[in-house]
Structure 1
Amino acid sequence: MSFNEQFDQHGTWRREFALRLKLLAEWMKDHDVLDAAVEERLRRLESQVRSDKVMVAFVAEFSRGKSELINAIFFAGYGRRIMPASAGRTTMCPTELGYDADVPPCLRLLPIETRLQTQALMEWRAVPEKWTRVDLDVNDPSQLALALEKVAEVRHVTKDEARALGFWNDENINDNPLVGSDGLVEVPKWRHALINIAHPLLRQGLVILDTPGLNAIGAEPELTVSLIPQAHAVVFILAADTGVTKSDLAIWREHLVTADDESISRLVVLNKIDTLWDALNSPEQVQAQIDRQRATSAEILGLPESQVIPVSAQKGLVAKVTRDRDLLQASRLPMLELALAEGVMGQRQMILRSAVAGGIAELRVEAGRAIHIRRRDLAEQMDELRGLRGKNASVIKHMRSRIEQEQAEFDTSGAKIHAVRSVHLKLLREVFNLLSTPTLKGELAELTHALKQPGIKLGVKKAYGQAFSRLREGLQKSQVISGEIHSMLVGSFKQLNAEFGFSLQAPKEPELVRFGHDLDLIERSHLQYLGVGNILKLSQPDFSERLVRALSTRLRVVFESALGEVELWNKSAASQLDAQLRERRRNFGRRLEAIERIQSAASGLDERIAEIDVQEVALNELDNKLTELTSHLAGAPLVPQQRPDAPVAVHGSLMGEPA
C-alpha cells in the first residue's frame, strides 16, 4: 500500500471515529451520564482525531528535484506539474501546502520585507491583511500551476538591503548570492507561502512543507527551530550524480540531525538516478553506480542504507501521468511511497491509537462513576424499603422524619464542601501562574537580553542552557504542587465519603514532567542551530530577535498544553463533586416520594421495591452499553476493514488522482 493509499484510509478512519465519538456524546447526554469533565474529554478526543495533522517536510539544496518529487508523489493526478519544477532554482521561499475549510482555495504570500520587523511567522499568520492573496481554481490545473509559480518570484536589491533582509553576510562571503552586473543582489520576493487547496490528502490532514536551500533555511529561524523539528517526517533530497555535497552536508548537520533523534522520521532520497542511466553501460553497471552512491551517502550521513532511497522523481511523474507501469517501477518511486507509508503513517497511527486508547479509558472511568453513584443510591433505597416491611405507620412516619433530618444536615454541609474547593483552587492558581505566558516571558527575559547584545555572542549557549533549566524547574515545581493538590484531594474526598456516603475518587494527577521531553526537543533544535557556523548570523540583532520570538512561540504551545492538562484535571475533580451533590439531592427526593406513596397506599411499598428492581436492571443495561460503546471505540481498527467483495483502491499508487 502506497503512502497516498494508506493516508487515504487513515483519513477515513479519523472521520468515522470522530462521528462515533459524537454519537457516543449524544447517547451519554440522553442517559444523563455526561458531566462537564466527560464532555470536555469527549471534545478533546474528537478534536484530536478530527484535526490530527501529519506534516512531511521536503528539504534540499536547490536543483535537487525537490518540487518535482512533491509533484510525483502527491499531484500526478492533475496530469501535469503543479509545483514549479523547471531547470534552476524554483522554490525561493518556504511553502506550506494544507487545507483549511474556512479559507477559500488560495495562495497567500508574505512579503520578504516583513523580515525587517521582529514578529515571528506565527504572529504574521494572525494578520491576513499583510499577506498577498491569489485565488486558485482547483479545477483548472493550468491556472493552478501558473499561480503557484509565484513562489519562485525574486527581487533585486542593493547589498545593504540584502544585508538587512538576512541574505548578505560580510563575514562569510562564500555563502552570499551573486552580484549582478548592475550591482544588485537577487533575493526571494516572498518570505513564506501558504497554499490552501482541497486536494484529497490535504483535506485529510496532510501538510506538505517545501523548503528552499541552505541560504534561505539559515536566514529564517522559525523554519529551523519550529516547523522542521515538528514535522513528523523529513525527506532530505540529494542528487544521484553528485551525492552528498558540502552544502548538502551543512544542511544535514546544522538543521536536520539532533541528538537522540528518531532516525525513522528521516528519509534520504537519492534523486535523479535517471542521470546515471547510460546506454553505454549495462543495467548491472548502472545498478552498481547507484548502489555505490547509496552506500557512500548513507555512511556520510550516518544512516542505515535502508533509509537512503534511490529515485527518479521526473520519470516517476511521467510514468504516473502516462500510466507507464514499467517506467514507474524503474523510477523506484513506489519504494519511497512504501517507506513513507510504513515509517510516517505507521508511526503516526501507533501514536494516535495509544493516545485514543488512553483517552477512552479515562472517559469510561469518569462516565462509569455516575452509573456507580446511581447504583449505590438504588441499593441504599432498596435496603431502606425492605426494612419497612411489616412496620406500622408510626415507624414509617419516623423514617420520613429521619430522611428530612438527613436532608437538612446535608444542606448545611455546603460550607465544608466550599472549603475543599477553596483550598484546591488556591493551590491550582499557583500552578496556573507557573505555567502562564507572563511567567514564560519572564524566564526568557535573560536569554532575550543576551541575544540582543551587539556583536558576537560567545556565551549564548550558556544562556540557552540556563533558560531551559529554569523552565524545567518550573515544570517540576508545578508537578510537586500538583502532587500536593492530589494528596489534599485524596484526604478531603475520603473525609467527604465517610461523612456523607459519597464515592468520590481523586482523579489521576497530570503528568507534567512529560512536557519536559518537549522542552528537550526544542532545546536540542536550538543548540544544534547555535553552532559555530551561525555565530555571525547571531551577531545581527534583528536575526537574534526573530530567533527568540520563534522560540517563545513554540514554548508557549508546550506550556499552554500543560496548562490544559491541569484544567482538565481540575474539571474532573469538580465534576465528580457536582455530580454526587446532584445525585444525593435527587436521592433525598426519591426517598421522600417513596415514603409518601407507602403512607398513602398499602401496596405502595411493594410497588416501589418492584420499580427499583426495574431501575437496577435498566442501570445494568446502561453500564453494559457504555462498556460496549467505549470498547468498540478503543478496539476500532485504525485502517477501515475492506469488504472481501470491495474493489481494490488504486488512488495514489499509479495515478495519484485527486477526488
Structure 2
Amino acid sequence: MGPSFNEQFDQLGVWRKGFASQLAEFRSWLGEQELLDAAVQDHLQRLEAQLRDDKVCVAFVAEFSRGKSELINAIFFAHYGRRIMPASPGRTTMCPTELGYDPALPACMRLLPIETREQTYSLAQWRSRPSTWVQLPLDVDDPDQLAAQIAKVAETRTVTVDEARTLGFWNDALPQDNPMVDDRGLVEVPRWRHALVNMAHPLLKQGLVILDTPGLNAVGAEPELTVNQIALAHAVVFLLGADTGVTKSDLAIWREHLLPSHREGESHLVVLNKIDALWNGIDSAAQVQVQLERQRQQSAQMLNISPQRILPLSAQKGLQAKIEQRPDLLAESGLPAFEDALAQGILAHRQSILLSAVTGGVRQMQTQVRRAIQIRRRDLDEQMLELRSLRGKNATVIDSMRQRIEQEQRSFDSSSTRILALRTVHLRLMNQAFQHLGATSQRRELEQLAQALEHSGLKLGVRKVYASTFERLRELGDKVRAAAAEVQAMLGASFKDLNAEFGFSLLSPEPLQLHDFEQALGQLEQSYLQYLGFGNVLKLANPLFGERLIKALGMRLRSIFENAANDLDLWSKAATAQLDAQLKERKRSFARRIEAVDRIQHAASGLMEHIAQVESAESLLQQLDQQLHTRCEQLLHLPVLEGAACAVTPAVIPVDAAGDTEPLQQ
C-alpha cells in the first residue's frame, strides 16, 4: 500500500521548504557577490514567499448526510482515535467550516452568527471584524474537548418563517425545498453562518486548508462561498450516496454550484460514499461490485463526466479501519485508492505550478545577473586596454590618460540630469498604468451592475449589463498594456540615447504580459453566470441577495487586479534595474581606473602589477559566471516528488496567484 494523502502532503511541504531554502541561499550568494539589484531581490523574495506560504485548499461539497464530515475524519483526523468533525446520526455540519492554521492566532474556533446574513457585508468583510465572531478555545491535545467544541458547527436555532426568508432559508416559489414548520409555526435554521477552525494540525501547518460545506440551501445562499472559495479550491470532492446515486438536490448542487468551475482531469473528484450499505451479507462480493459499477455508470451519465472520476468508498469503514489498524478493512473501504487519486490530482498539479513559477523566475533572474557580470567584464576590458597602452610611456602620457578618464567621468556624471528626467517620466507613466488597476476603477466599472441588482423585483436585462461590465473590465487590461507599451517605448528611446552618449549598454525592456489577468477574468465571468440564469430569478429579486452577490464579485475582482498590479510592478522594476546596476558598476569602474593610474605614476612596478590584478579579476568573473550557471541549474533540476515529474513550461507565474484562498485571516 502506497503512502497516504497525509504522508504525500507532508512530502510536498518538506519539498517546498527545501526549495525555498535553496532560493534564500541563492539570494544570499548574490548579495555577497554584489549582484543583487532591487528587481532580482524582489523577484526572489516573492518566489520564496510563494513556496513557503503556499496554501492548498480542499473543498468537500455535498447535500446533507452524504458523509463529508466522516470522510474528513477518515483522511485527516483518524490519528485522534475518534471522530473530530460531527458525523454521527442526527449531528452534521450546518455551516461552512474552514480548517487551517495561522500561527498569529491561538488554537481556537471562531463562529459567525447567522444573523449577519441580514446585513450586506461579505464574508471577507466579516473576517476583518473579529469582534463579531464568537471565539472558543481549542485544546489540540485533548480529542474529547476538541470534538466537543467543533460539534458546535452542528447547532441550530428556530426562527419564524419571515426570519427564515430574510436569512435565505425560505423560498415561497420552491416550497418543496423549505424546512419543516413545527407546531409553533417556527422553522429550524443553522445557528452559525461560518466557522473558522485554527489548529496546529501537522498538515494544516504545512499549508493545507480544508473547507467543509453544508447542503444545497446553505451553499446557494452564499455567493461568495460558491464562486470564490469553492471555485478557487485546488481540489473539490463532491460526495454522493452509493445507496441513492444522484438525487435531485445532488444534481442541483452539481449543475448550479460546481459545474461552472469543474476541472475534470485535474483534481475535481466525485465520491460514491457509503458503499458499506451494500454489504448486506446476502449478495456476493461480485454482485456488490456489479451494483457499484452500475451506480458509477449511471451517476457519471447524469453528471456528464468520466466514470473514472467517480470513486466508490466507505468513509465510515475507512475511519474504523484506521482507528483499529485493520489493513484488510481499510483496503475494502476504498479509502486508500481515493487518497492516492486526491494526492496525485492535487499535489502533482500544485508542484508543477510551483516549478513553473520558479523555472521562469530563475531564468529571468539569471539573464539579469549575467547582464551585470557582462558590464563588469566590459569595464575590465577597457581597463586592460588602457593599462597595456601605457607600457613604455612616460609620466606625461600617464598624466594625460588620467585627465582623459576624469573627463569621461565628468561626462558620465552629467548623465544624471537625463536619468533624473527619465525617472520622473517613468514614474508618471507608471502611476497612470496603476490607476487602471486601482480600487476606484473597479468600483466605477461595477456601478452599473450594482444598480441593476440593488432594486427589488425581477432583474430584466441583467445578463446584458453583466456582459458589458466584463467587457469594460477587459478594456482596463488593454489600457494597462497600452500604458506599459508607452513606458516601454519611452525607456527604449531613452536607453538608446544613453548608450550612444554616455557609454551605457542598456537593453529595451520586454513587453508586459498579462495572460493570467485575462484568464482569471474569463473564469470569474463564467462562474457568476450561474446566478443570472432563469433558475435564480427569484433569488435575484431579493435586493439583499443582489448586494451580497456584487460584494462577493468585488472581492474576487480585487484579488485579480492586485495580482495584475504585482505583475506590472515587477515588470517596471525589471525594466529599470539594469540602469541602476550599470550606474553602480560604471562609478566603481572610474574609481578603479583612476586609482590604477595613480599607482602607476608613483611606482615603477605598478603597471605590471595592476595588469596582473585585472587579469585575475577577469578570471574571477569567469568563475563567477560559471558559478551562476551551476547554481541556477541546480535550482532548475531539484528533485520532484514521485508522480509529480512532468514537463514544465518556463513561464513566469505571478507570485501569490489569484487561485490561493485566504483562510483564517483577520
Indicate the larger mover: 329-338 or 409-418: 409-418
2:144 aligned partner: 142
**Letter of the structure 2 residue corresponding to residue 125 of structure 1:** R
Distance 1:458 1:152 in 2: 38
- Conserved 8 A contact 1:273-1:310: yes
1:98 deviation in Å? 0.9
What residue is the counterpart of 2:655 in the other structure?
none
SS at match of 2:57: strand
Partner of 2:211: 209
Corresponding residue for 1:332? 334
Q: CA deviation at 1:108?
A: 0.9
In structure 2, C-alpha distance between the alignment counterparts of 1:235 and 1:286, rounded to whole Å: 24
1:162-311 aligned within 5 A: 162-258=164-260, 261-311=263-313
Question: Partner letter of residue 95 of structure 1?
Answer: T
Q: Distance in 1 between matches of 2:361 and 2:183?
A: 63
Structure 2 Cα separation of the partners of residues 461 and 95 of structure 1: 32
Give the partner amino acid of 2:370: G
Q: Is contact 2:93–2:153 with CA below 8 Å preserved after alignment?
A: yes
**Could you report, residue by residue, the CA deviation over 1:18-57 in whole angstroms, capped at 9, with x for unpaired residues?**
1111122222112211111111001100011111111111
SS of 1:264 mapped into structure 2:
coil
Return the alpha-carbon distance in structure 2 between the equivalents of residues 15 and 82 of structure 1: 29
Q: Partner of 1:419 in structure 2?
A: 421
Correspondences of 1:398-477 after superposition (within 5 Å): 398-477=400-479
Query: 1:267 aligns to what SS in structure 2?
Result: strand
Q: Alignment partner for residue 532 of structure 2, among 523, 526, 530? A: 530
Q: Secondary structure at the match of 2:35?
A: coil
**Aligned equivalents of 1:514 and 1:331: distance in 2?**
41
Preserved CA contact (<8 Å) 1:311 1:333:
yes
Provide, for residues 335-382 of structure 1, a one-character-per-residue CA deviation record: whole Å limited to 9, x for no partner.
111111111112111111111111111121222222221111111111
Distance 1:598 1:219 in 2: 83
8 Å Cα contact 1:9/1:640 also seen in 2: no
| SS of aligned partner of 1:207 | strand
> Is contact 1:14–1:50 with CA below 8 Å preserved after alignment?
yes
Aligned to 2:72: 70
Amino acid paired to 1:198: A
Letter in 1 for 2:607: L
1:127 counterpart residue number = 129
Q: Cα deviations across residues 247-276 of structure 1 (Å, max 9, x unaligned)? A: 000000000002784443321100000001
The Cα shift of 1:574 comes to 2.6
The aligned residue for residue 81 of structure 2 is 79
Aligned position for 1:45: 47
Among 95, 115, 122, the alignment partner of 1:113 is 115
Aligned residue in 1 for 2:587: 585
The CA deviation at 1:116 is: 1.4
Q: d(CA) in 2 for partners of 1:514 and 1:155?
A: 44
For the structure 1 residues 8 and 473, does the alpha-carbon distance in structure 2 shift closer, same or farther, using more than 3 Å as the test? same
Checking the alignment, whether the CA contact within 8 Å between 2:100 and 2:209 is kept in structure 1 is: yes
Find the aligned partners of 2:569 and 2:536 in 1 and give their Cα distance.
40
The residue identity in structure 1 corresponding to 2:318 is G
Structure-1 residue corresponding to 2:574? 572
- TM-superposed deviation, 1:602: 1.0
Please name the residue that 2:105 is paired with.
103
Q: Which residue of 1 aligns with 2:492?
A: 490
In 2: Cα distance, 1:195 partner to 1:20 partner: 32
Q: Say whether the 8 Å CA contact 2:100–2:207 is kept in structure 1.
A: yes
Separation of aligned partners in 2, 1:475 and 1:262: 29
Displacement of 1:490: 2.3
> In structure 2, do the counterparts of structure 1 residues 640 and 620 end up closer, same or farther at CA, with 3 Å as the change threshold?
farther
* Larger mean Cα displacement after TM superposition, 504-513 or 472-481: 504-513
SS in 1 for 2:69: helix
CA distance in 2, matches of 1:34, 1:406: 27
Cα distance in 2 between the residues matched to 1:132 and 1:305 = 43
Letter in 2 for 1:339: A
Paired amino acid for 2:339: E
Instruction: Note if 1:375 corresponds to 2:408.
Output: no
Structure-2 separation of matches of 1:261 and 1:205: 22
Residue 10 of structure 1 contacts residue 638 of structure 1 at CA under 8 Å; is this kept in 2? Answer: no
Which amino acid is the alignment partner of residue 564 of structure 2? A
| CA displacement at 1:535 relative to structure 2 | 1.2
For 1:649, the equivalent position in structure 2 comes to none
Would you say 1:630 and 2:660 are equivalent positions? Answer: no
Instruction: Using structure 1 for the length normalisation, give the TM-score.
Output: 0.95
Mapping 1:325-404, distance limit 5 Å: 325-404=327-406
Higher deviation after alignment, 218-227 or 486-495? 486-495
- Point out the more displaced range, 117-126 or 248-257: 117-126
Q: Residue 573 of structure 1: CA displacement?
A: 2.3
Tell me how far apart the structure 2 counterparts of residues 197 and 508 of structure 1 sit (CA, whole Å).
45
Q: Point out the more displaced range, 370-379 or 448-457.
A: 370-379
Question: Contact 2:411 / 2:502 at 8 angstroms: preserved in 1?
Answer: no
Change (3 A) 1:509 1:102: farther
How far 1:604 moved relative to its partner? 0.7
Partner of 1:55: 57
Deviation at 1:89, TM superposition (A): 5.1
Misfit runs of 4+, over 3 Å: 259-263
Contact kept in structure 1, 2:231 and 2:261, CA below 8 Å: no
How far is 1:636 from its partner? Answer: 0.7
Give the aligned residue type for 1:132.
Answer: V
Counterpart-to-counterpart distance in 1, 2:449 and 2:93: 34
Specify the alignment match of 1:315 in structure 2. Answer: 317
SS of the aligned residue for 1:157 comes to strand
- Higher mean C-alpha deviation, range 440-449 or range 501-510: 501-510
Residue deviations 1:132-160, cap 9 Å, x none? 11111111111111110011111111112
Q: Could you tell which deviates more after superposition, 266-275 or 406-415?
A: 406-415
Mapped to 1, the partners of 2:398 and 2:573 lie a distance apart of 41
Comparing 228-237 and 351-360, the one that deviates more:
351-360
1:12 maps to 2:24: no
- In structure 2, C-alpha distance between the alignment counterparts of 1:529 and 1:522, rounded to whole Å: 12
Letter in 1 for 2:280: D
Name the amino acid aligned to 2:396.
S
Q: How far off its partner does 1:484 sit?
A: 2.8
Give the aligned residue type for 1:539: A
Quote the Cα distance in structure 2 between the aligned partners of 1:126 and 1:509.
Answer: 38
SS state of the match for residue 258, structure 1?
helix
Amino acid at match of 2:415: S
CA distance in structure 1 between the partners assigned to 2:503 and 2:552 by the alignment: 53
Q: 2:384 corresponds to which letter in structure 1?
A: M
For 1:644, the equivalent position in structure 2 comes to: none
- Taking the aligned partners of 1:224 and 1:531, their CA distance within structure 2 comes to 15
1:173-193 deviation digits (Å, cap 9, x = unpaired)? 222111112211111111111
Aligned-partner Cα distance in 1 for 2:512–2:120? 35
Moved more, 525-534 or 545-554: 525-534
RMSD: 1.5
